[in-house]
């Protein structure tokens, strides 16, 4: 039987324990939602004041040059590159994940229109994050050329969905609800054998699990910086394009920031060389500057070390729920197999929404996803083994006492 003392001992010998000091965490909160909104890096407060007072307040328009604002999307993209197996000048930080999906999808479809115009199917997963599916639908509606979306699910496995009609495969590396992870290299190779290009959504993978885009021979990738990368609420996303595709076409959101010489103010669009053409318009500098603080904190360690601790903590969570909450109707929907698990743990419970509200009221912050899913994000940068123990104890207490069964825990908020 595991005890709280075991957890304290594991923390005492944890080589990553010191990283917790990089973040400002509220007292009396166990934060298991870093997969949805990361925490505040200590460095972000000073950096934000510097951007406000010195760069904006004093530097004003000069800061586009003197404070490096103009180069931020690429400079920060190069910092992120090492965490996702990308090369230098292959990633930019910009726009939202949804918008970057649109750009990547458009570029992939253009490549296929030249190479194999009969390919009109975009394959994704029924259980994918909805915005991915919505962006595909919007793209098909815009194209109006007989494009079709095909969704893999229990009745249509990937090997049956892929054939000579498929132009693009768009998948999330780690599923936002279940935490199940695809084998990126194997799936990319499978798609390639069928002539399809791949777009990977790394929203729940970047900073959470080791990713190697170039070794996997992927084509495009997008993802968030406000989740495991601790970039701040709504911080700009990223887009990676394999070097071999970068100069083939330009993306359709051909704004002036993607122009080769934006300050020529020319009437004709001339795309910049390389990844820069995937930018559109003026960037949100205040928010983007803070992305660097989250990246710097992660870069103090390695994805290999983070992965090891993440698996130890998710294993611990699963074991403790088994030991201490066995009589309750909790169904683990996250794979037990390490190779198929991301960095969060999810359970179904018939009263999942109310149980999560009761947990949050007790300071254990996870989140709820339809249908009936309790989701616990495990972020090894700042979580301790003892946090996992205390979180599961609180869950056990709430379930044992049916404390979730109160009217205030049934009330739905706009954001769950
Ligand atoms: C969180 C998430 C998004 C979010 O997209 P935004 O445009 O930032 O709102 C997209 N895809 C996946 C898989 C996600 O988990």
Q: How confident is the model at residue 147 (pLDDT cuts 50, 70, 90)?
A: very high
> How confident is the model over 365-387, as pLDDT tens digits?
999 999 999 999 999 999 999 99
Q: Is 201 annotated as a binding residue?
A: yes
For residue 62, give every residue at least 6 positions away whose Cβ sits within 8 Å of its Cβ, in sequence order, or none: none
- Which of 275, 300, 325 is the C-terminal boundary of a domain? 300
CA-proximal residue: ligand 1, atom 1 (nearest): 203
> How confident is the model over 162-213, as pLDDT tens digits?
999 999 999 999 999 999 999 999 999 999 999 999 999 999 999 999 999 9
Cα of 98 from ligand 1 centre, angstroms = 6
Q: How confident is the model at residue 415 (pLDDT cuts 50, 70, 90)?
A: confident
Residue range 49-57: average pLDDT? 98
5 pLDDT higher than 90? yes
- Say if ligand 1 is within 6 A of residue 96 CB: yes
Residue range 140-166: average pLDDT? 96
pLDDT given at position 353: 97
CA-proximal residue: ligand 1, atom 4 (nearest): 97
Report the percent of the chain where pLDDT is more than 90. Answer: 98
Tokens of 353: 């929404």
Which CATH number fits the domain that encloses residue 200? 3.40.640.10
414 pLDDT higher than 90? no
212 and 327, same domain (yes or no): no
- Say if ligand 1 is within 6 A of residue 42 CB: no
Residue 357 lies in a domain: yes
Residue 259 and residue 263: Cα distance in Å, rounded?
9
Cα of 256 from ligand 1 centre, angstroms = 25
416 pLDDT higher than 90? no
> How confident is the model over 264-299, as pLDDT tens digits?
999 999 999 999 999 999 999 999 999 999 999 999
Burial (Cβ within 10 Å: 0-12, 13-18, ≥19) of residue 264: exposed
Residue range 99-104: average pLDDT? 98
Residue range 335-341: average pLDDT? 98
**Atom number of ligand 1 nearest to Cα 226:** 8
Residue 60 lies in a domain: no
Residue range 250-273: average pLDDT? 97
What pTM value is reported for the model?
A: 0.98
- Say if ligand 1 is within 6 A of residue 113 CB: no
- Say if ligand 1 is within 6 A of residue 344 CB: no
Instruction: Give the 3-state secondary structure percentages of the chain, helix then strand then coil, rounded to 5.
Output: 45, 15, 40
- Which of 300, 332, 351 is the C-terminal boundary of a domain? 300
pLDDT given at position 116: 97
How much is the CA Rg of the chain, to the nearest whole Å?
22
**Atom number of ligand 1 nearest to Cα 97:** 7
pLDDT given at position 276: 98
> How confident is the model over 202-224, as pLDDT tens digits?
999 999 999 999 999 999 999 99
Q: How confident is the model at residue 145 (pLDDT cuts 50, 70, 90)?
A: confident
Q: Is 349 annotated as a binding residue?
A: no
Whether 354 contacts 395, CB under 8 Å: no
Residue range 85-112: average pLDDT? 98
Residue range 18-35: average pLDDT? 97
Cα of 200 from ligand 1 centre, angstroms = 12
290 and 311, same domain (yes or no): no
Residue 364 and residue 238: Cα distance in Å, rounded?
30
- Say if ligand 1 is within 6 A of residue 176 CB: yes
Q: Which residue has the tokens 């994704």?
A: 124
190 and 320, same domain (yes or no): no
Residue range 81-98: average pLDDT? 98
pLDDT given at position 119: 98
35 and 72, same domain (yes or no): no
pLDDT given at position 317: 98
22 and 80, same domain (yes or no): no
Domain encompassing residue 293: 68-300
296 and 306, same domain (yes or no): no
- Say if ligand 1 is within 6 A of residue 36 CB: no
274 and 323, same domain (yes or no): no
Residue range 395-402: average pLDDT? 97
Task: List the catalytic residues.
Answer: 129, 201, 226-227, 375
Q: Is 226 annotated as a binding residue?
A: yes
pLDDT given at position 351: 96
Q: How confident is the model at residue 390 (pLDDT cuts 50, 70, 90)?
A: very high
Cα of 241 from ligand 1 centre, angstroms = 18
> How confident is the model over 235-246, as pLDDT tens digits?
999 999 999 999
Report the percent of the chain where pLDDT is more than 70. Answer: 100
Which CATH number fits the domain that encloses residue 315? 3.90.1150.10
DSSP string, 247-265: TT---S---GGGBSSGGG-
- Say if ligand 1 is within 6 A of residue 309 CB: no
Helices (H), 116-210: 130-143, 158-161, 184-193
What's the chain's average pLDDT? 97
Containing H/E element for 297?
helix 285-298
235 and 308, same domain (yes or no): no
pLDDT given at position 413: 85
pLDDT given at position 384: 98
Cα of 125 from ligand 1 centre, angstroms = 15
């Amino acid at each position: 039987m595991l005890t709280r003392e075991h957890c304290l001992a594991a923390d005492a010998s944890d080589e990553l324990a010191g990283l917790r000091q990089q973040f400002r965490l509220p007292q009396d909160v166990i934060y298991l939602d870093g997969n949805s909104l990361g925490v505040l890096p200590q460095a972000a407060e000073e950096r934000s004041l510097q951007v406000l007072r010195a760069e904006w307040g004093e530097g004003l328009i000069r800061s586009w040059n003197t404070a490096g604002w103009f180069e931020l999307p690429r400079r920060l993209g190069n910092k992120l590159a090492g965490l996702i197996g990308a090369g230098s000048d292959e990633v930019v930080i910009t726009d939202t994940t949804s918008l970057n999906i649109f750009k990547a999808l458009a570029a992939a479809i253009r490549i296929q229109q030249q190479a194999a115009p009969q390919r009109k199917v975009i394959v994704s997963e029924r259980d994918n994050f909805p915005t991915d599916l919505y962006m595909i639908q919007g793209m098909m509606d815009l194209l109006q050329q007989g494009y079709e979306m095909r969704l893999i699910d229990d009745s249509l496995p990937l090997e049956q969905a892929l054939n000579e009609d498929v132009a693009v495969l768009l998948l999330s590396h780690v599923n936002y609800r279940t935490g199940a992870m695809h084998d990126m290299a194997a799936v990319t190779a499978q798609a390639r054998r069928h002539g399809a290009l791949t777009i990977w959504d790394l929203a729940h993978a970047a900073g959470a699990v080791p990713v190697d885009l170039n070794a996997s021979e992927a084509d495009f990738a997008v993802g968030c910086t406000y989740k495991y990368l601790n970039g701040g609420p709504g911080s700009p996303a990223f887009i990676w394009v394999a070097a071999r595709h970068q100069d083939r076409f330009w993306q359709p959101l051909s704004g002036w920031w993607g122009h080769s010489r934006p300050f020529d103010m020319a009437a004709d669009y001339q795309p910049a060389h390389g990844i820069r053409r995937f930018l559109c318009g003026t960037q949100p500098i205040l928010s983007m500057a803070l992305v660097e603080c989250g990246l710097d904190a992660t870069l103090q360690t390695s994805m290999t070390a983070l992965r090891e601790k993440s698996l130890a903590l998710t294993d611990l969570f699963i074991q403790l729920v088994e030991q201490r909450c066995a009589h309750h109707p909790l169904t683990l929907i996250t794979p037990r197999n390490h190779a198929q698990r991301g960095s969060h743990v999810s359970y179904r419970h018939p009263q999942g929404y109310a149980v999560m509200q009761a947990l949050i009221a007790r300071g254990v912050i996870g989140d709820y996803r339809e249908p009936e899913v309790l989701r616990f994000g495990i972020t090894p940068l700042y979580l301790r083994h003892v946090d996992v123990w205390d979180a599961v104890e609180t869950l056990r207490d709430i379930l044992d006492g049916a404390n979730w069964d109160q009217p205030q825990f049934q009330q739905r908020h706009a954001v769950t």
